[in-house]
Amino acid sequence: MKKIITTIIVALMCCNLYSQKEITLSDIWQTGTFRPKYISEIRPLSNGDYYCILTKDGIEKYEYKTGKKVGFLVDFSTLHFDKNTYITDYSISNDNTKILLAANSQEIYRHSFLADYYVYNLKDKSIIALSKDKIRLAEFSPKGDKVAFVRDNNLFISDLTSMTETQITKDGKYNHIINGTTDWVYEEEFAITKGFFWNNDGNKIAFYRFDQSNVKEYDMTMFPQDSLYPTHYKYKYPKAGEDNSVVDIYIYNLEDKTTKHVDMGIDHDIYLPRMQWTKGDNQLCITRLNRHQNEYELYVVNANTLEMKKVYKEVDECYIEQPDFVNFLNDKENLILKSERNGFMNLYKININNRSITPITNNNYDIDNICYIDEKEKSIYFTAAASKPYNRELMKVDFDGKKQVKLSKEEGTYTADFSTNGKYYISSFSNTDTPTIYTINNNKGNVVVTLEDNKELKNVLNSYSPARKEFSSFKTSLGDSLYYWIIKPTNMEKGKKYPLLFYVYGGPGSQEVLNSQSRFSDYMWFRMLAQKGYVIACVDNRGTGFRGSKFKKCTYMDLGNKETQDQFEAAQYFGNLDFIDKDRIGIFGWSYGGYMSSLCITKGHKYYKTAIAVAPVTNWRNYDNVYTERFMRTPQENADGYDKNSPINFVDDLTGNFLLIHGTADDNVHYQNTMNLTTALIKANKQFSQFSYPNKNHGIYGGNTRFHLYTMMTNFLLKNL
């Protein structure tokens, strides 16, 4: 009887395996079959009991303790907008009486955009346009009676009481002078676009001024379909070793209408990547980095007298990780920041007055984000790679560092958006098996209510291939443990060898081996390839993040060398597994990953049969100076480091199948990179495939583009791997 039951169970399992639906590219890129539900633009209200989210219908108000909708802050159906008007962003005044609505956003670069801005009055339900033209970065003053914004590279203030407009700067000019926002390289590499900041009283604004006069222009040719002739887009792009913008900081006084210059010294070949007002009276904090980005200083400036004092300095033999805003405490004497000064990213308390440094944590793992600082309870909530580099736990630590606890439950990736009073937080959680779950939790980590569990998507996924990421690690010949994930075909046949495709990024501080639903569309594509009989794997090589600064910074001055050595060892390790066909190993990467895959198919040609490189850097001389010099210094100082690991220098070694893809309007990694590599390959008489997407940027998306791209890459792999 047991034998009969066992036979039936096995038969049912086999039936289930063979009844799995086939994942298609249309499912991934056209029909939205695998599109998760998400909660957009969460904003806590100042009373701590409610929060808002943005939906297509309006800005909806919810209660933390129940998670139930209690109404609309703004019902978009009552605004009588044109049918083509769509709201993309919003902000609420501190007194909760007005809302700024950003509509019809027009993308500029990765983070920046122009928009139509409207001020909605919550009391009388009136709405007014802030400007006839599209503007940028509109923000309420602390009292909500004014709005500052940028138009045509100049800074303005609109008085909402008198409806008058004050122009603070007048010298703004495209590709010359920028006021109140940032240039391309600050936006891309320091992730900052807003270049003005209200003080706590709302009577002063500190702002950046960028003089781009000496920065060289990059010219992109555009090919509009409605024109007989191409057009040209020129913008300032400082490449490695080239001149930067000269950046100055000014403080505008709304009361006497004066503007004062903050003197940061005679050396202008520096970076000022952050500024913010402290909790003290009229104190502005400015972050200063030297050109090499290995000296990090914090200065506090008296906005009235312009007296300046240095409150913190950190020096690293390689580089300082990209500085973030610091956290000032209400005692007006201390701030909390993250630092790798002990080899891992930890928390420190800095006294502004006596410059004392007090460690709060001393972990041998890296902290990711500070989520909330509870000054009443003297505790800090943060996310960290505590258990494994590929997980993100939510942790809590007291100011003295003596008591540290983990609040998250399952292994995976957590984020936490706290209420203003710290009683609740909205958590997102996912792992390789779980589409993102949104919950409201209390500050002890307990779930109060589940907002969205994406159960429908999970059921859909279960009807397709059960292939999932499996996590593990292996040791290289040098003794380094490298973490990886692997996706195997379901119902693998014993003794059969399968082709292997590596997915790679590999850049400094990056991480692709993550226990989350990150890069979800690619994840589904990998699962689709697994259904077609491919093994997919991803290895985080030396130089990647969340394993301490020593592991991350070992590639300093030598990008591409140790990273590819590790990828070659990964190819050998996996090639020796009994289910891998070592003669059918391929590699795919985008951006830095495109650089890596280009190097692997040339320099590492004996390990790979096929490679796809999308939007690759092909020589670091072509890339921007902030990113490249952080890891390589300048070409003038480190010419060998720039050239010896360029795939252009290894084109003679190409023996496999190579597909090279780029968008012609890539403002980030210029199309020039692909053209230079193409020229070298032709000169070496190497056959390869190359495809260009007209007018597409670094993301290569829009309309049917992604479907077309992934169809091409899939067909290339099916034919050549």
* Mean pLDDT to the nearest integer, 452-479: 93
Quick one: pLDDT band at residue 19, thresholds 50, 70, 90?
Answer: low
List the domain boundaries for the chain: 38-160, 168-325, 468-720
Count of all residues that appear for the chain in the document: 721
Percent of the chain with pLDDT over 70: 97
State yes or no: pLDDT of 16 exceeds 80. no
Q: How far is CA 334 from CA 304, 338, 401, 656, in A?
A: 21, 14, 16, 58
State yes or no: pLDDT of 17 exceeds 50. no
Least confident of 39-43, 137-141, 242-246, 650-654: 39-43
Choose among 59, 133, 144: nearest CA to 101.
Answer: 59
Q: How far apart are CA 273 and CA 90, in angstroms?
A: 25
Question: Residue 708 phi/psi, 5° resolution?
Answer: -65, -45
Quick one: pLDDT band at residue 41, thresholds 50, 70, 90?
Answer: confident
Q: Which two tokens stand for residue 190?
A: 């320091």
In Å, how far from its chain's centre is CA 670? 19
Q: Give the per-residue pLDDT at 5.
A: 44
Summarised one tens digit per residue, pLDDT across range 250-259 is 999 999 999 9
Q: Which two tokens stand for residue 665?
A: 């309007």
State yes or no: pLDDT of 15 exceeds 80. no
Count of CB atoms situated within 10 Å of the CB of 653: 16
Domain 168-325 has CATH 2.40.160.10: no
Q: Which two tokens stand for residue 251?
A: 């403080």
Q: Give the per-residue pLDDT at 80.
A: 84
* Mean pLDDT to the nearest integer, 564-568: 98
* Mean pLDDT to the nearest integer, 709-714: 98
- Residues 468-720: name the CATH superfamily: Alpha/Beta hydrolase fold, catalytic domain (3.40.50.1820)
Q: How far apart are CA 537 and CA 469, in angstroms?
A: 9
* Mean pLDDT to the nearest integer, 89-110: 94
Mean pLDDT, all residues of the chain: 94
Q: How far apart are CA 502 and CA 588, in angstroms?
A: 6
Count of CB atoms situated within 10 Å of the CB of 311: 18
Query: Could you tell me if 275 and 186 are in contact, meaning their C-beta atoms sit under 8 angstroms apart?
Result: no
* Mean pLDDT to the nearest integer, 438-449: 96
Least confident of 155-159, 296-300, 457-461: 457-461
* Mean pLDDT to the nearest integer, 229-245: 97
Least confident of 122-126, 246-250, 394-398: 122-126
> CA 441, 446, 449, 454: dihedral to nearest 10 degrees?
90
Least confident of 60-69, 74-83, 162-171: 74-83
Query: Could you tell me if 665 and 610 are in contact, meaning their C-beta atoms sit under 8 angstroms apart?
Result: no
Reported as half-sphere exposure (CB side, CA atoms, 13 A), residue 328 has a value of 22
Q: Give the per-residue pLDDT at 81.
A: 87
In Å, how far from its chain's centre is CA 238? 21
Tell me the one-letter amino acid at 60.
E
Q: How far is CA 372 from CA 149, 379, 651, in A?
A: 28, 9, 50
Quick one: pLDDT band at residue 280, thresholds 50, 70, 90?
Answer: confident
Quick one: pLDDT band at residue 1, thresholds 50, 70, 90?
Answer: very low
Q: Give the per-residue pLDDT at 13.
A: 44
Quick one: pLDDT band at residue 545, thresholds 50, 70, 90?
Answer: very high
* Mean pLDDT to the nearest integer, 422-451: 95
* Mean pLDDT to the nearest integer, 658-675: 98
Summarised one tens digit per residue, pLDDT across range 498-507 is 999 999 999 9
Triad 520, 524, 526: Cα angle to 5° = 115
Choose among 305, 303, 267, 269: nearest CA to 286.
Answer: 303
Strand ranges (DSSP E) for 576-688?
A: 580-590, 610-614, 657-663
Choose among 175, 139, 171: nearest CA to 158.
Answer: 139
Q: Which two tokens stand for residue 684?
A: 């070496």
* Buried/exposed 384-405: b ≥16 CB within 10 Å, e otherwise: bbbebbbbbbbbbbebebeebe
HEC states along 110-154? Answer: CCCEEEEEEEEECCCCCEEECCCCCEEEEEECCCCCEEEEEECCE
* Mean pLDDT to the nearest integer, 165-192: 97
The CATH class of 38-160 is mainly beta
Strand ranges (DSSP E) for 387-443?
A: 393-398, 404-406, 413-418, 424-431, 434-442
Q: Using DSSP, state whether 632 is helix, strand or coil.
A: helix
Quick one: pLDDT band at residue 465, thresholds 50, 70, 90?
Answer: confident
Quick one: pLDDT band at residue 58, thresholds 50, 70, 90?
Answer: very high
First to last CA, the chain: 47
Q: Give the per-residue pLDDT at 293.
A: 97
* Mean pLDDT to the nearest integer, 598-604: 98
To which residue do tokens 């030598």 refer?
558
Quick one: pLDDT band at residue 40, thresholds 50, 70, 90?
Answer: confident
Q: Which two tokens stand for residue 96?
A: 């909760």
Q: How far apart are CA 54 and CA 75, in angstroms?
A: 11
